Chain A
Amino acid sequence: MIHSSLSQLGAALRAKKISSVELTQSYLDRIAQLNPQLNAYITLNPETSLAQARAADARIAAGKAEALTGIPFAQKDIFCAKGWLTTCGSKMLHNFVSPYDAHVISQFNNAGAVNLGKTNMDEFAMGSSNETSHYGPVKNPWDTARVPGGSSGGTAAAVAARLCAAATGTDTGGSIRQPAALCGISGLKPTYGVVSRYGMIAFASSLDQAGPMARSAEDLALMLNVMAGFDERDSTSLQRDKEDYARDLNKPLNGLRIGLPKEFFAEGLSGDVAQAIEAAISEYKKLGATIVPISLPNSKLSVPVYYVLAPAEASSNLSRFDGVRYGYRAPQYDDLADMYEKSRAQGFGAEVKRRIMIGTYVLSHGYYDAYYLQAQKIRRLIAQDFTEAYKQCDVIMGPTSPSTAFKLGEKGDDPVQMYLSDIYTIAVNLAGLPGMSIPCGFGANNMPVGLQIIGNYFDEARMLNVAHQFQLATDWHSRAPQL
């Protein structure tokens, strides 16, 4: 069962070939066996998971099952889930048992899905290797000496190692796509505003977006059907008609125009990754697509722009963690200011503090125009590059990450080197576009390579079609690590 797709699992559950309790227990057993070496989960609650499974079995017996009823999913620990410890990878929230459900969690609960556990992540989603987690780094299931990527590294490792049927992630600068690429799975960041951010712990609010991570594009479509939709509790949630994201999966790709930005194939891209991407593009030509050379001239500025805007928003969002109403409070302090300063100094890790300080500085008196405003102006130039490009093509493709998974500790001392590992993903968040990564081969040391597919606004169904057709013609997505 562990290699079955979501639609196969759903069918087996509805045909009563297996119960949700049996399926959930088999995943819990596998987690107990393999999680100690991978550290993909922060929190497990087997009794709660099994209670949800029993309720799902009753719902199936009553003939009221939906597509995902009874299927066990893992949830990134950035989503508040009522009664579950929700840490966001931080010591600051080491004792935070959420009193409410995030919208995404409610959507899975309403669909009758089972919550298997909360997955490990970079602290407050700030990182590209999962090494900033207070709960220890996640190991890549393809080589446990290497990182899984981040920030949704626990989710990516859990999906790749078959420690859940599929799971959720969030993406502020590449945090779904880069770990999906490094762990050899599929991941989709929807258009900004498609999935509600209610109850998703905020990092950079104008960029944060939740999305599904799974083993195939078909699975992603079924999950997005559950996750997407208007929610009045998120002021940026978009009011749009309900979509079936699986509707176009089986369309042929004849006439599809694929834009290849020259900037994504320039200096800095590893040879092994380039080779796998070129092979994937050749496959798309066989499937009937045509290639259009394009340019995204301002995309090279996306890393500096992001490292002004995201920390600025983070410094504001993280000001709520003050040791007063919930979370960590320092054991000893002199007065109120000292309590704030010590609680925050002890509760936040080094990378989070670094970004709070960058954000505080760029927003401080005298520097706002030079940094924050200038970054917002270049953000528009970056978004306009995409608008121009989509006049000539339907989707844009390129590498998700400049290299395959690097070794644990390899980039730990140098924040700038770490930041540059998101060079191909960040522009998509700045523009608010949907982006995804699918497995397209293996590079040096037999580590997975991800192909990035960037769509125009609200073009998720087409992107999933483009990914699904590739997955019908290739088997990269069904390769599993030996554990």
Chain B
Amino acid sequence: MSLSLADVEKVARLARLAMNEQEIQAAQTQLNSIFGLIAEMQAVDTTGIAPMSHAQDLAQRLRQDVVTETNQREAFQAIAPQVEQGLYLVPQVIE
């Protein structure tokens, strides 16, 4: 299979990456060459094989439901692109 220009455009939108027409075309060629490599997988019979999502077969560790983080708002906001009165500023989203 191969990705159409429309597929690539859709993926770029889902991934929140602004791309112009030229970039979409270049990405299409490269992604199709990478998916050519990935296609080798499809011929493998994996009937009855359980997917391996992780290197260790362990259950998630649980902890007490207590506060473990200290408030570091000032340190964190000191490196933000735009803050005002302790809030992160972004373009208006609600009219």
Distance A334 CA – B35 CA, assembled complex (angstroms): 34
CA distance A121 to B90 in the complex (A): 31
Best-surrounded residue of B27, B33, B49 (most CB of chain A within 10 A): B49
| Cα-based distance from A375 to B17 in the complex (angstroms) | 25
Query: Are A301 and B44 interface neighbours, CB within 8 A?
Result: yes
> How many A-B pairs fall under 8 Å by CB?
161
Question: Considering the chains assembled together, what is the distance between the CA atoms of A419 and B79 in angstroms?
Answer: 35
Q: Does B30 lie within 8 Å of A380, measured CB to CB?
A: no
Closest residue to B78 on the A side, CB-wise?
A99
Closest to B41 in A: A304
* B53 adjacent to A206 (CB under 8 Å): yes
Interface size on B, residues (CB 8 A): 51
Given A354-B27, A361-B3, A415-B33, A344–B50 Cβ distance below 8 Å? no
**A361 near B38: Cβ-Cβ < 8 Å:** no
**CB neighbors of B among A300-330 (8 A):** 301, 303-305, 307-308, 315, 319, 322-329
Alpha-carbon distance between A476 and B88 when the two chains are bound, in angstroms: 54
Which of these binds chain B: A230-238, A267-275, A401-409?
Answer: A230-238
Q: What CA separation (Å) do A239 and B60 show in the bound complex?
A: 12
Task: Decide if B79 touches A95 in the complex (CB within 8 Å).
Answer: yes
> Which of A103-111, A284-292, A335-343 lines the interface with chain B?
A335-343
On whether the beta carbons of A377 and B75 are closer than 8 Å, the reply is no
Please pick, from A326, A329, A374, A377, the residue contacting B50 in the complex, using a CB distance under 8 A: A377
A-side residues, CB < 8 A to B, are: 95-97, 99-100, 192-193, 206-207, 232, 235-236, 238-239, 298, 301, 303-305, 307-308, 315, 319, 322-329, 333-342, 344-345, 348, 353-354, 356-358, 360-361, 364, 370-371, 373-381, 383, 414-416, 419, 430-432
Interface residues of B (CB under 8 A from A): 3, 7-8, 11-12, 14-19, 27, 30-31, 33-42, 44, 46, 49-56, 58, 60-61, 63, 72, 75-76, 78-82, 88, 90-93
